[in-house]
Structure 1
Amino acid sequence: MKPTYHYATVLKAIEELRQKGFTEDFNLHENCLICSTGKFEAEDFEISHIYYYEGESNPDDEATVYGIESKSGTKGILVTGDEQDIDPMSQRIVDKLLVSRKRD
């Protein structure tokens, strides 16, 4: 079971993950995650922490912070806004992120 902590802000969640060793910054890129140490397909990583934030008055203020661990040991963070606005090329990765978020 994934830890389910809730922090007041996205910044606080990122700071806590950094303290836990999640040092890489992941980005979505053509149906994979990339960071300074490499490229990861959907099957190459697991999501170990999820923090979801909804805007109180504006749905555009939503954000999700993911703590991600690759099978090779790379630990990092991915922050997304509204997943519906993400490039269709990254849909496989987004699907994995959304499934993980719904399980928590």
Structure 2
Amino acid sequence: MYRDLAEATEALKEKGFDHTFELGKNCITCKTLDTEYGADKLTIKETHEFDQGTDPASEATLYAIEADSGIKGTLIISYGKYVDPDKAKLIDKLLSSI
């Protein structure tokens, strides 16, 4: 659907997913709003996977997410052998909402 991560991110912004979420230690944060969310307070609306080549570290997934408060944003998760185990658990909790 989208050629690359940048195109997908811009298209989602046009759909109202204009905040940026980040993985915290035990939560997902939106630094712009200075807000933390538990995975149970977020719903994944769209998922887009990108693989930029043969290097496994270049794999990423873009999630369009809506908080139970109505805030919409994106979360980009890069995969590879260096993923923090605590963050991996948080990702698993978020994915259970699909």
Q: What TM-score, normalized by structure 1, do the two folds share? A: 0.80
More helix by share: 1
Cα distance in 2, alignment partners of residues 68 and 27 from structure 1: 11
Cα distance in 1, alignment partners of residues 96 and 49 from structure 2: 13
Please name the residue that 2:18 is paired with: 23
Identity %: 34
Q: Which runs of 4+ in 1 moved over 6 A?
A: none
Cα distance in 2, alignment partners of residues 46 and 84 from structure 1: 26
| Unaligned stretches of 5+ residues in structure 1 | 1-5
Root-mean-square deviation over aligned CA pairs: 1.9
Distance 1:24 1:52, change over 3 A: same
Asked whether the 8 Å contact 2:28–2:37 carries over to 1, the reply is yes
More strand by share: 2
| Unaligned stretches of 5+ residues in structure 2 | none
Aligned residues: 96
Cα distance in 2, alignment partners of residues 88 and 74 from structure 1: 27
Distance 1:84 1:70, change over 3 A: farther
Please name the residue that 2:83 is paired with: 86
